[in-house]
Structure 1
């Protein structure tokens, strides 16, 4: 049974790893900005860029799912 679902388990594990990395990066950036007293506009820009990186991975996953469900690739 494990061999049959190996790709699914691998994909879920990789997605969880990416989520952990983004959360860890966000917490690290938050800590650095808090210690260095960054203005509110600077924090907004930094979090927006971090969100764009996250959104890119989510968009990649959605596009990949759509292509695979239609038989492309």
Structure 2
């Protein structure tokens, strides 16, 4: 394997790891909200914050990819 292939594999592995972590966090939050009988508005706020965190992470990845593709990074 060349160095470029290893770097690509590491990059993809890290991204998949973060997807798995976000999924597990979501499942844990769902369980806590269900067991705690949290009101509907509270659940909405919790999921909104979680979604915005994920969206920010995804936007960061897209921006990095665009900058690297354009020769800025």
What is the TM-score when the length of structure 1 is the normalising length?
0.94
Paired position in structure 2 for 1:59: 59
Give aligned pairs, total. 73
Partner residue, 2:5: 5
Alignment of 1:1-73 (within 5 A): 1=1, 3-73=3-73
- Structure 1 CA distance for aligned equivalents of residues 43 and 59 of structure 2: 24
Backbone CA RMSD of aligned residues: 1.0
Give the gaps of 5 or more residues in structure 1. Answer: none
Q: TM-score, normalised to structure 2's length? A: 0.94
Shift in Å, 1:2:
5.1
- Higher RCO structure, 1 or 2 (CA under 8 Å, sep 6+): 1
